[in-house]
């Protein structure tokens, strides 16, 4: 009986090891909802990706092949553009649906020649932030109107002025995404700790 319990425990641990991943956050790209030193529990066997999900992904331009945590900002078929650091999203390329969604959830909808777009949809619910004191590359401030292709996902950091994300290398294919965050273990916050968080990665200074 003890042997059976031991084997069951080994099987359970193997399943947990295969399906779950635990990461410690480094860097500044998810400030300030997530800060360096927070831990993220992720699940590998997820099926659906939704706007706003925190996902662990490969970074195509990282020579060390490290994994990055970013937020899914747009799904396949969505249209987006960026102007003066504001992010504009059209759900599924459907202007009418986008306008109705904005009205339902009290979000700002902007009418353009290409229909309605929601302005900065992730500020209200996920706390995406800007640092207007930083001088940032043009790619972080302005992007042309783009449609996300099939099986690709637009991934952005919450700290929009200091994040190496899809604005540099485009929407990422599904097979670059390895797991989805299911729980965040946040280190204790104090006022002094928050105001002393470094604004940019040391390597970029």
- Per residue in 149-195, pLDDT (tens digit) is 999 999 999 999 989 999 999 999 999 999 999 999 998 888 888 87
- CA 161, distance to chain mean position in Å, is 14
In whole angstroms, what separates CA 133 from the centre of its chain? 23
Q: pLDDT over 90 for what percent of the chain?
A: 65
Tell me which of 8-17, 115-124, 139-148 is least confident: 8-17
Residue 43 has pLDDT above 60, yes or no: yes
Q: CB neighbours of 119 closer than 8 A, spacing ≥ 6?
A: 86, 87, 88, 107, 108, 109, 110
Of the pLDDT bands very low, low, confident and very high (cuts 50, 70, 90), residue 38 is very high
CB atoms within 10 A of CB 53: 18
CATH code given to domain 18-188: 2.10.109.10
Residues 45-92: tens digit of each pLDDT: 999 999 999 999 998 888 888 899 999 999 999 999 999 999 999 999
Query: What is the overall mean pLDDT for the chain?
Result: 90
Look at residue 204 in the predicted model and tell me its pLDDT. Answer: 43
pLDDT at 205: 36
DSSP-assigned states of every residue in 39-51 = EEEEESS-----T
For 17, 73, 142, 183, the CA distances from 13, given in Å and listed in that order, are: 6, 34, 47, 19
Whether the pLDDT of residue 24 is over 80: the answer is yes
193/90 Cα distance (integer angstroms): 37
pLDDT at 197: 77
Q: What is the pLDDT of residue 4?
A: 73
**Average pLDDT of the segment spanning 90-109:** 97
Q: What is residue 200's predicted lDDT score, i.e. its pLDDT?
A: 66
pLDDT band at 8 (very low <50, low <70, confident <90, very high): low
At 100 the pLDDT is 97
CA-nearest of 179, 175, 169, 170 to 54 is: 179
Query: What integer pLDDT is reported at residue 59 of this predicted model?
Result: 86
Report d(CA 123, CA 25) in Å as an integer: 21
């Amino acid at each position: 009986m003890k042997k059976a319990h031991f084997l069951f425990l080994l099987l359970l641990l193997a399943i947990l090891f295969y399906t779950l991943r635990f990461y410690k956050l480094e860097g500044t790209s998810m400030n300030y909802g997530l800060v360096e030193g927070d831990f993220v529990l992720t699940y590998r066997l997820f099926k659906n990706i939704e706007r706003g999900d925190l996902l662990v992904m490969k970074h195509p331009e990282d020579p060390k092949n490290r994994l990055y945590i970013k937020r899914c900002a747009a799904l396949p078929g969505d249209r987006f553009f960026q102007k003066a650091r504001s992010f504009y999203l059209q759900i599924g390329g459907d202007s009418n649906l986008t306008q109705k969604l904005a009205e339902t959830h009290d979000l700002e909808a902007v009418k353009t020649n290409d229909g309605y777009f929601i302005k900065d949809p992730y500020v209200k619910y996920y706390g995406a932030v800007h640092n207007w004191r930083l001088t940032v590359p043009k790619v972080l401030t302005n992007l042309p109107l783009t449609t996300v292709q099939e099986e690709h996902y637009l991934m952005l950091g919450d700290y929009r002025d200091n994040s190496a994300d899809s604005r540099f290398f485009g929407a990422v294919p599904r097979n670059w995404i390895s797991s989805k965050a299911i729980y965040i273990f946040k280190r204790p916050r104090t006022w002094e700790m928050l105001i002393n968080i470094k604004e940019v990665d040391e390597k970029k200074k």
